[in-house]
């Protein structure tokens, strides 16, 4: 309970800081005023300049966090997340391909297809002779698929005109610059729908956590449940990628951080904690990206990379020490 309050407080603080701090500082009072009145500096920053970016960051962080938690619980491995396993890179590749080819379809559709194709490729390549997919093989094959998708994205980028290539480069790093309310509503709306679908599957996730045989004995249809959970996880990640690009490491870090903050143990609580932690990290990383170098807006992915890469290295070292890798 104390942990839950702490996370909510942190989330509100992150939102407030992110709305206030930047090249121009806006106090909480002005923001409060702007919430209720349509004019003045508070309204400008809340409704036009910073609000949409913060809303998009919240949504993208939350969906990526939940996606990471799903795969980490499902595969019982802290390294299993859609960014490490190449799903977000696949989603990014499809989106950039769709945009560069000038196909007039919504970006989330491309990112969803890209994420699913990447996940399908990972599963196919990682399946051993007995028809099962050892978690570690999935992760390593996923790394490979991710590298391939990233390289293919770079290739497409080089074929673009200079201006668009710069834009694409930012997006592929993971960017929340120039987001409008359309982006925020898109990620929050799709995220809410997928969260509802996930809520219906939490029980099977809680059983799968006990091992496949016991879960089956308790009434779970194993392949079907796993498939649906993985599908939901990929779509959640793709929803985040569609508005923020393949933001690295959010999905990897959110669940362990969230569980540590709230102390949640049941998958339902861990998914909610991961969503909150993902949102906090993304909002703060976006803030840091805007405020780190005055006059220059870094892509938020640079910040999550600086934060996430050391965590990944620490995780790898620990896994090797405990013999899990």
Q: Note the residues at the interface with another protein (CB under 8 A).
A: 76, 200, 203, 206-207, 209-211, 213-214, 216-221, 265-266
Which tokens hold the place of 263? 């102390």
In angstroms, what is the minimal distance from the CB of 252 to another protein?
A: 17
Which tokens hold the place of 91? 């989603």
> Which CB sits closer to another protein, 80 or 247?
80
Per DSSP, 295 falls in state T
> Which CB sits closer to another protein, 210 or 292?
210
127 phi and psi, to 5 degrees? -75, 125
> Which CB sits closer to another protein, 164 or 209?
209
> Which CB sits closer to another protein, 158 or 223?
223
In angstroms, what is the minimal distance from the CB of 83 to another protein?
A: 22
**Separation of alpha carbons 125 and 133, rounded Å:** 9
> Which CB sits closer to another protein, 198 or 284?
198
> Which CB sits closer to another protein, 220 or 297?
220
296 phi and psi, to 5 degrees? -130, 130
In the chain, alpha helices (H)? 2-20, 28-36, 41-43, 51-75, 87-100, 107-126, 135-158, 162-173, 181-199, 202-208, 212-217, 222-244, 250-262, 267-291, 300-321
In angstroms, what is the minimal distance from the CB of 317 to another protein?
A: 19
In angstroms, what is the minimal distance from the CB of 213 to another protein?
A: 4
Per DSSP, 50 falls in state S
In angstroms, what is the minimal distance from the CB of 76 to another protein?
A: 7
In angstroms, what is the minimal distance from the CB of 102 to another protein?
A: 44
Q: Which residues of 263-272 are buried (b: 16+ CB within 10 A; e: fewer)?
A: ebeebebbbb
SS3 state at 293: strand
- Contact at 8 Å (CB) between 69 and 271? yes
């Amino acid at each position: 309970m104390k942990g839950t309050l702490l996370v909510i407080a942190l989330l509100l603080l992150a939102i407030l800081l992110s709305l206030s701090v930047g090249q121009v500082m806006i106090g909480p009072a002005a923001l409060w005023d702007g919430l209720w009145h349509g004019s003045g500096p508070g309204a400008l920053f809340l409704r036009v300049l910073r609000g949409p970016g913060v809303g998009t960051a919240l949504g993208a962080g939350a969906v990526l966090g939940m996606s990471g938690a799903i795969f980490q619980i499902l595969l019982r491995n802290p390294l299993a997340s859609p960014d490490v396993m190449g799903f977000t890179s696949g989603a990014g590749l499809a989106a950039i391909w769709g945009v560069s080819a000038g196909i007039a379809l919504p970006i989330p559709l491309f990112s969803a297809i890209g994420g699913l194709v990447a996940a399908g490729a990972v599963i196919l390549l990682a399946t051993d002779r007995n028809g099962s997919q050892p978690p570690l093989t999935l992760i390593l094959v996923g790394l490979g698929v991710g590298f391939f998708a990233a390289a293919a994205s770079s290739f497409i980028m080089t074929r673009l005109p200079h201006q668009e290539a710069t834009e694409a480069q930012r997006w592929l790093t993971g960017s929340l610059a120039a987001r409008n309310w359309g982006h925020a509503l898109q990620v929050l709306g799709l995220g809410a729908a997928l969260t509802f679908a996930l809520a219906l599957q939490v029980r099977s996730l809680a059983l799968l956590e006990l091992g496949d045989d016991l879960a089956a004995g308790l009434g779970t249809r194993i392949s079907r449940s796993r498939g649906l959970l993985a599908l939901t996880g990929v779509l959640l990640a793709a929803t985040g990628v569609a508005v923020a690009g393949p933001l690295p490491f959010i999905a990897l870090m959110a669940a362990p951080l969230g569980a540590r903050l709230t102390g949640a143990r049941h998958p339902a609580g861990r998914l909610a904690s991961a969503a909150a932690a993902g949102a906090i990290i993304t909002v703060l990383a976006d803030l840091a990206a805007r405020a780190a170098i005055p006059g220059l807006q870094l892509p938020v992915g640079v910040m999550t990379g600086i934060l996430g890469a050391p965590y990944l290295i620490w995780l790898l070292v620990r896994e090797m020490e405990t013999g899990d890798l």
